[in-house]
A and B are shown apart, each in its own frame.
Chain A
């Protein structure tokens, strides 16, 4: 369960101060899919950073499974993130000079996963995104869609409770994009991960359990849409 209560975020101080979020409140139940939609500059990424504890709100609280994450010391937030969350970004952020195996290994190393399980987990994650045959390939040699699949493999290798995706299809053609979205929904179904998805795509947003629509930093609508998932 992710609960945001009255969160506001102001960048800068004095004359240059800019309020990116105004009094935003909503909640997402564990295992749901949620979409954050809105125009460019409406504060979607800002909200995602706050939800994942990468940034602190100016006011308001964020509670994840009953824990107010901003009362924790920085180190504990780090550990919490390593254990429970993962990310997929618009521009993939895979390490071109490293192999697929090494890329996917990173979250396991950070979370201090037992050495004996690492190899198996990496293989499983790569199989899930259909990249098992590329395990020793340099990530730089992959196509854009393959890179994003690799990023998803890296995001799911730890079996996270929450998966944040910031416009994961932004750099892909629509066919490849659909495949990536399909993968994210699969993860939600098979692993029960909560998926928080930032998107511009109204149709895609409609497929999510929760829709949070931002306009100039304020919530316009927050709909709990039941049974709207497109059946495969």
Chain B
């Protein structure tokens, strides 16, 4: 028999036993539904993780610390001895530890390593305030602008190299500082105030005058610097960036100068918790890894975006595996339904099989008739399950996004190739499930079969 004829007969048989076919396919669709959604959720989670990473980390840079253990989880359960030259870090879940800081010598050493394009200390400077003539004062944080990604701008432009005393303003400060629009802010001057460390003599004077209470209101010891607004950043979509969208960006030399003013006279002067090491041709992950190894060999701690991505991917893969087990169990359970259905189908059609064999149909073709029938059940189960999952997922996406507060990110990301692969896998499993019944049909003795009244 031609394959086409076999296929048509299989379809006809399925149609004759419609209810049985639909129920068996529905049983298979339950597992498919679960697996399709699991895959979609992992896709979405992976993509969301990567979006966050690429929005917040320079993919060609390594984050370097003096302390090798900086990036490791603090597992020590013994108190750490105090070291005055170390910085203290408190983790979000409590528990402090001391970390060695990078100094200018370290930065110079890093700059000399092969494959390193540039090194810049990671500075996030808490300003005393930002203001301009006729406006109130607002708290702000400043960082160096890094051009690894092109942010959405409301006005102005960001040149390849930012001139000193230029500032990129987040959208939120436009109205706060009294500008009528983002465009109106361009080329206007704002003033940033930086706290100066109170000198020892000034503190002594203050203590002598006011007693201990005097220290709660330290001297207005700050410096104002004037900056020209060159661009206004659009407010980033929620949760895509780690920062709250209120960071001011200035040039690299400016942030160092401001930081120097703020830390001069303290132990923090010219020491940094971490530094960004820009890798030459860092988009090539091999280069990134080479330099990372180089830095680690020199005794520093180094992390790249790759590590973060790997960590996220690993977590998601594990979760995906765990959830997939439920879907897989459902699919396996439904396979017994396929076996059962196929046995019934063979029994019901014993006479027909006998006749077909008497008329000269090959064993192989008889087996194929039932294998195709099983395959079609698998196919329908796959199609029904994945379509239901797609519809359910598409409807659920906005609600999930709202519940998790991830903006208009779609958590369930359906991938056509994955769904196709799933359906093919289901077809193969169904064929395997149909193997024994099909073999029974192929082996039927036509004489015995035709004796069945």
Which of B16, B354, B362 makes the CB contact (< 8 A) with A78? B362
Contacts of B362 in A (CB 8 A): 75, 78
Instruction: Judge whether B360 and A111 touch: CB under 8 Å.
Output: yes
- Say yes or no for A81: interface residue by CB 8 A criterion: yes
Residue-wise, chain B 323-354 has the 8 Å CB interface mask toward A (1 for contact) of 00000000000000000000000000001101
Contact between chains at B5 and A97 (CB < 8 Å): no
Q: Are B2 and A87 in contact (CB under 8 A)?
A: no
Taken together as a complex, chains A and B put the C-alpha atoms of A111 and B362 apart, in Å, by 10
Is the beta-carbon distance between B447 and A109 smaller than 8 angstroms? Answer: no
Q: Which residues of chain B have C-beta atoms less than 8 A from A112's C-beta?
A: 1-2
Q: Chain A residues near B360 (CB, 8 Å)?
A: 78-83, 85, 110-111
- Number of chain B residues close to chain A: CB under 8 A: 23
Interface string of A71-94 (1 = CB under 8 A from B): 000110011111101110101010
With known contacts A93-B351, A95-B352, A109-B5, A82–B359 Cβ distance under 8 A: yes
Tell me the dominant secondary structure on chain B's binding face: helix
Does B261 belong to the interface (CB within 8 Å)? Answer: no
Q: Which residues of A contact B446 (CB under 8 A)?
A: 54
Q: Which of B1, B16, B358 contacts A54 (CB 8 A)?
A: B358
Q: Indicate with 1 or 0, residue by residue over B274-293, a CB within 8 angstroms of chain A CB atoms.
A: 00000000000000000000
Among the interface residues B1, B358, B447, which one has the most CB atoms of the partner chain A within 10 A? B358
A48 to chain B minimum Cβ distance, whole angstroms, is 10
Residues of B contacting A31 in the complex (Cβ-Cβ under 8 angstroms): none
Q: Which residues does chain A contribute within 8 Å of B351, judged by CB atoms?
A: 93
Q: What's the Cα separation between A109 and B357 when bound, in Å?
A: 12
Is A78 a contact of B361 with CB atoms below 8 Å?
A: yes
* Nearest CB of chain A from residue B345's CB, rounded to whole Å: 13
In the assembled complex, the CB of A122 is this many whole angstroms from the nearest CB of chain B, namely 14
Tell me the minimal C-beta distance from B86 to chain A in angstroms: 84
The answer to whether A98 touches B12 (Cβ under 8 A) is: yes
A110–B447 CB distance below 8 A: no
Chain A, residues 96-126, CB within 8 Å of chain B (1/0): the string is: 0110001000110111100000000000000
B358, A106: Cβ atoms closer than 8 Å? no
Are B359 and A86 in touch, CB under 8 angstroms? yes
Q: Which residue of the partner chain, among B352, B359, B363, B453, contacts A87 with CB atoms under 8 Å? A: B359
B388 contacts the other chain (CB 8 A) = no
Most buried by B among A75, A81, A106, A110: A110
Q: Which residue of A lies closest to B352 (CB)?
A: A95
How far does the Cβ of A115 sit from chain B's closest Cβ, in whole Å? Answer: 8
The answer to whether A106 and B356 touch (CB under 8 A), given A49-B447, A93-B351, is yes
* Closest chain B residue to A48, Cβ basis: B447
B358 cross-chain contacts in A, Cβ below 8 A: 52, 54, 81, 87
A82 to B357: give the CA distance in the assembly, Å.
9
Cα distance, A93 to B450, chains bound together (Å): 8
Residues of A within 8 A of B352 (CB): 93, 95
Question: B residues near A, CB below 8 A?
Answer: 1-2, 5, 9, 12, 16, 351-352, 354-363, 365, 446-447, 450, 453
Q: Closest 8 A-B residue pairs measured CB to CB?
A: A82-B360, A81-B360, A109-B5, A78-B360, A97-B16, A110-B361, A110-B359, A93-B355
List the interface of chain A (C-beta within 8 A of B). 49, 52, 54-55, 74-75, 78-83, 85-87, 89, 91, 93, 95, 97-98, 102, 106-107, 109-112
16 A-B Cβ contacts within 8 A? Answer: A54-B358, A78-B357, A80-B360, A81-B358, A81-B360, A85-B360, A86-B359, A87-B359, A89-B450, A91-B453, A93-B354, A93-B450, A97-B16, A98-B12, A107-B359, A111-B360
